[in-house]
A and B are shown apart, each in its own frame.
Chain A
Amino acid sequence: MSGRWRPAAASPRPWPRRWPSAGAALALALCAAAALAAGCAAAGAGAGPGLDSVPASAPARARIDPDAGGPDAVAAGRKLFLRHCAECHGDDARGSRRGPAIASERVREASPGALFWFLTNGRLAAGMPGWSRLPAARRWQIIAYLQSGLPAADDEKGARDAGDAGDAGDDREARRSNLYTRR
């Protein structure tokens, strides 16, 4: 409610103004229960390593990129990647301390349908949000860009270059481990 005013004379009973301990306990219990429920779900869903978590039976695996070969799909996908993904995965898709490298052979060779499923669902337990908020056409454009032949971070030179760009050893480790996409 917002702004409802109960004139004292019209109130059926006076409401006490201090925190009732039972009410506060109920509120805290509900918060804790909600967090626990989400935490349990997260623990259960976090076992799959990246693309391997895409269910084999997911119809998404069989879906075909509706914009495959479109002349602007890669350029538009790059723009979308820089806008929505580079914040975590780096401008060159080679990863940052917030997210792993996705410029990799594994991503290039993955089924577009599997990538679409993964991009749509994310991997919430590992910090990767789902991008169902983007229309399907834009998710396909991002996939077209990712599979367009980005220099892979998992080749030796790419990893070294990416490492030089960073300033912490754990960054390089995060890139190499390729959390979402490791084989």
Chain B
Amino acid sequence: MFSVASCPAGGRGAWQRLAWALGLLACRALLPAGAAAQERPYLITYDRQLEEPGNLEIAVDPLLARQRGGGDFLAAAVELEYGVKAWWTTELYADGQATSGDGALATGWRWENRVRPLLHEHLVNPVLYVELEDITAADKTLLEVVGHDVEADHAASNRLARRDRQRELETKLILSSSLGDWDLSENLIAEKNLAGAPWEFGYAIGLARPLALAARPDACSFCRENFTAGIEMYGGLGDADGFGLRDTSHYLGPVIAWNLPGGTTLRLSPAFGLNGNSHRFLLRLGISYELPDLANRVRGGLPAGGAR
């Protein structure tokens, strides 16, 4: 599917750096020193869970995609997610991509904030999401699919696409519910190019459940309680000038997450395009590691009770 040899020298360097980063994170998974949060399994859909206050999560979310009419590509976002308060999480992304036969490049950054306006659990739990993006049209991370985003958008050469700078405001209404031990989350997306394009709309829906509900008394890594599996679907809903499903793309695929006791979470989601405008196949991966109590670590202190 991908050939590193087909990439120009700059692309090969980027692939090597990405491989190093993934390798380091994978090795880090073996060291039991992080905070063991229970991470959401979804790679696109957000649920109501925020980062624990004071914790920093470092994540890499690579995406491998087949591309008709262009080179297959690997895109990735490096994420730094910090829990400012128990009800407020902020996150910084740096995006990049490597396209087979077309080199590699950084494609911009994003800054997102999520807040919970209701502090107790309800039948439906809303979270408000606001993100500022400064990316180029060469960005292929597909972290959201909105408006009339289609596969053909990604067929343009990097040389041309990188010239088109896009500064956008993205808002989401995240609705999340517990149905027994299932999580059901829906995201309604509205995105605006600040240079004047019409509002674009999209959606993401996820449904997931842990493979085992109760924990075993003994320590284990490869046991059912550490896995969460589900399904997610996402796509565009047109824009303010043409709301609906016409000329939109949609994806559906299973998701599985493996929460390791050391604070690392691995996620995997093969997604399949549901119509002719969609990529036929996307393979999403996610590796994240959570550092507890960042503020005190920076100040040189450690929790008296012992950080885990």
Residues on A facing B (Cβ under 8 Å): 1-7, 13, 15-17, 19-20, 23-24, 26-27, 30-31, 34-35, 37-38, 41-42, 45, 67, 72, 75-80, 82-84, 86-92, 94-99, 120-130, 132-138, 141, 165-168, 171
Q: Say whether B88 contacts A35, CB under 8 Å.
A: yes
Q: What chain A residues lie within 8 Å of B95 (beta carbons)?
A: 2
Contact of B304 among A13, A27, A80, A166 (CB under 8 A): A166
- A71 to chain B: closest CB distance in Å? 9
B121-146 contacts to A (CB < 8 Å): 121, 128, 130, 132, 135, 137-146
Beyond A3-B138, A97-B301, A123-B86, 9 additional contacts (C-beta under 8 Å) are A3-B161, A7-B156, A16-B195, A80-B215, A86-B308, A98-B296, A138-B215, A165-B304, A168-B301
Docked complex Cα distance between A78 and B54 (Å)? 23
Q: Say whether B261 contacts A3, CB under 8 Å.
A: no
Q: Say whether B214 contacts A141, CB under 8 Å.
A: yes
Contact of B154 among A3, A34, A87 (CB under 8 A): A3
Among B13-21, B45-53, B265-273, the stretch in contact with A: B45-53
- B76 to chain A: closest CB distance in Å? 12
Q: What chain A residues lie within 8 Å of B216 (beta carbons)?
A: 72, 76, 79
Q: Say whether A133 contacts B38, CB under 8 Å.
A: yes
Ranked 3 nearest A-B pairs via Cβ: A90-B305, A96-B305, A23-B194
Q: Say whether B308 contacts A3, CB under 8 Å.
A: no
Q: Say whether B305 contacts A132, CB under 8 Å.
A: no
Q: Say whether B128 contacts A34, CB under 8 Å.
A: yes
In the complex with contacts A15-B197, A20-B195, A136-B181, A5-B214 CB distance below 8 A: no
Quick check: is B169 within 8 A (CB to CB) of the other chain? yes
Q: Say whether B215 contacts A27, CB under 8 Å.
A: no
Contact of A37 among B128, B293, B308 (CB under 8 A): B128
Q: What chain A residues lie within 8 Å of B135 (beta carbons)?
A: 2
Docked complex Cα distance between A38 and B89 (Å)? 11
Q: Say whether A17 contacts B113, CB under 8 Å.
A: no
Per-residue 0/1 for B186-201: is the Cβ within 8 Å of any A Cβ (1 yes, 0 no)? 0000011111110010
Q: Say whether B217 contacts A79, CB under 8 Å.
A: yes
Docked complex Cα distance between A178 and B16 (Å)? 51
Docked complex Cα distance between A88 and B38 (Å)? 15
Q: What chain A residues lie within 8 Å of B49 (beta carbons)?
A: 132-133
Q: What chain A residues lie within 8 Å of B303 (beta carbons)?
A: 87-88, 90, 96-98
Q: Say whether A134 contacts B171, CB under 8 Å.
A: no
Contact of A86 among B160, B197, B296, B305 (CB under 8 A): B305
Q: Say whether B194 contacts A24, CB under 8 Å.
A: yes
Which of A84, A94, A120 is most buried by chain B, counting CB atoms within 10 A of its CB? A84
Q: Say whether A121 contacts B165, CB under 8 Å.
A: no
Q: Say whether A82 contacts B308, CB under 8 Å.
A: yes
Contact of B137 among A6, A31, A83, A137 (CB under 8 A): A6
Docked complex Cα distance between A75 and B220 (Å)? 13
In the complex with contacts A6-B137, A97-B303, A167-B304, A132-B119 CB distance below 8 A: no
- A140 to chain B: closest CB distance in Å? 8
- A158 to chain B: closest CB distance in Å? 13
Docked complex Cα distance between A23 and B193 (Å)? 9
Contact of B120 among A86, A121, A133 (CB under 8 A): A121
Q: Say whether A19 contacts B115, CB under 8 Å.
A: no
Docked complex Cα distance between A90 and B303 (Å)? 8
Docked complex Cα distance between A83 and B261 (Å)? 7
B66-106 contacts to A (CB < 8 Å): 75, 85-88, 95
Q: What chain A residues lie within 8 Å of B143 (beta carbons)?
A: 2
Chain B residue nearest to A165 (CB atoms) is B304
Q: What chain A residues lie within 8 Å of B121 (beta carbons)?
A: 120-121, 130, 132
In the complex with contacts A3-B140, A5-B137, A135-B214, A45-B169 CB distance below 8 A: no
Docked complex Cα distance between A144 and B156 (Å)? 58
Contact of B132 among A27, A76, A83, A95 (CB under 8 A): A27
Docked complex Cα distance between A79 and B130 (Å)? 36
B254-308 contacts to A (CB < 8 Å): 261, 292-293, 296, 301, 303-308
- B153 to chain A: closest CB distance in Å? 4
Which of B48, B120, B168, B301 is most buried by chain A, counting CB atoms within 10 A of its CB? B120
- A152 to chain B: closest CB distance in Å? 15
Quick check: is B237 within 8 A (CB to CB) of the other chain? no
- A163 to chain B: closest CB distance in Å? 9
